[in-house]
Structure 1
Amino acid sequence: MLYFWLSLAFVAGMMMPLQAGVNSTLALQSNGALWASLISFAVGTAALLGVVLAMRYDWPVAAQLKQAPWWAWTGGFMGALFVATGAFLAPRIGAATMIALLVAGQLIMSVILDHFGWATFPQHEINLGRILGVLCLLAGVVLIRMY
């Protein structure tokens, strides 16, 4: 089962540059990256609603949702920033540079989140291997951007 989850993460990662290109194309036809992002989120919301209804999930209970910390509600803002930024940047800096920088930012934040165990992540201390991994990825960003 572990290989399935690892493969799922890999395939989802492959969708990131494709999503940015698709949304960038939509931005050309819809008067900008913000409109394209809004349309993208509307389509995604409709798709998720369809899946939830088809799978007959129970609706969340308002009392339980009220117990969520304030920051648990900010994921949509972060997703909107990601989608809008991708749609805007893709035609300006290219897929490889954009994704390299996105992945570098993701990895640095992931190491910080793991170190402190924030936002429900299990705690994994920063160590030499993780620092070297981040530095190698940053070197990769430089190489991708230079060539």
Structure 2
Amino acid sequence: MSNQYILIAIALLVGAVLPLQVGVNSKLADSVGSPLLSALLSFCVGTLALLTYIIIAGVPLANAAEARNAPPVAWVGGLLGAFFVAVSIILLPKLGVAMTVSLIIAGQMLMSVVMDHFGLLGVPVREVTFARFGGILLITAGVILVRKY
């Protein structure tokens, strides 16, 4: 199996984790009575998991000091993650898992194509083609089908 296939399998696994994450975070929100508290607790668990892995893997913590040299936009990732997790928890009981996740995926694909086309955040430019635009339309059609049926 080539390295590319392994990366594709890992990406699919990460995608499969998304509805699970939204679901378990929603369960936590039911228990604690707040989607925002659920998001905070989820981030705390994630922080502890990453810290444990960093220690076990021997990642040099001295490198963290270099973060002060990162551009300001590099710090927005945590805010975007908090927004994503908190809003996902709020949406799930109102829209259901399939609708919430399909809309999230549609939004991700749309933003991905925009980022590629304009080279946002320094990603390599990949112009929007008819085929890529067609892919967005198919995803949108999928969202409509999930919503209707």
| Bucket of the pairwise TM-score, normalised by the shorter protein | over 0.9
Secondary structure of the residue that 1:126 maps to in structure 2? coil
Unaligned runs of 5+ in 2: none
In the alignment, which residue of structure 2 is the partner of 1:110? 112
2:25 to 23, 26, 30: 23
Cα separation, 1, equivalents of 2:118 and 2:90 = 32
- Deviation track 1:58-102 (CA, whole Å, cap 9, x = no partner) reads 12253x323211111011111111111111111111111101100
In the alignment, which residue of structure 2 is the partner of 1:67? 69
TM-score of the superposed pair, with normalisation by structure 1: 0.95
Matches within 5 A, 1:79-98: 79-98=81-100
Cα separation, 1, equivalents of 2:122 and 2:55 = 27
In the alignment, which residue of structure 1 is the partner of 2:48? 46
- Deviation track 1:38-64 (CA, whole Å, cap 9, x = no partner) reads 0000000000000000011112253x3
Secondary structure of the residue that 2:120 maps to in structure 1? coil
Corresponding residue pairs, total: 146
Which amino acid in structure 1 is aligned with residue 58 of structure 2?
R
Cα separation, 2, equivalents of 1:58 and 1:123 = 33
In the alignment, which residue of structure 2 is the partner of 1:136? 138
Q: Compute the displacement of 1:123 (Å).
A: 1.5
In the TM superposition, structure 1's runs of 4+ consecutive aligned residues that sit over 6 Å from their partners are: none
The percent identity for this pair of structures is: 41
Cα separation, 1, equivalents of 2:75 and 2:17 = 24
Deviation larger for 32-41 or 82-91? 82-91
TM-score of the superposed pair, with normalisation by structure 2: 0.94
Cα separation, 1, equivalents of 2:99 and 2:64 = 42
Which amino acid in structure 1 is aligned with residue 56 of structure 2?
A
Unaligned runs of 5+ in 1: none
Deviation larger for 65-74 or 18-27? 65-74
C-alpha RMSD of the superposition: 1.0
Distance 1:61 1:34, change over 3 A: closer
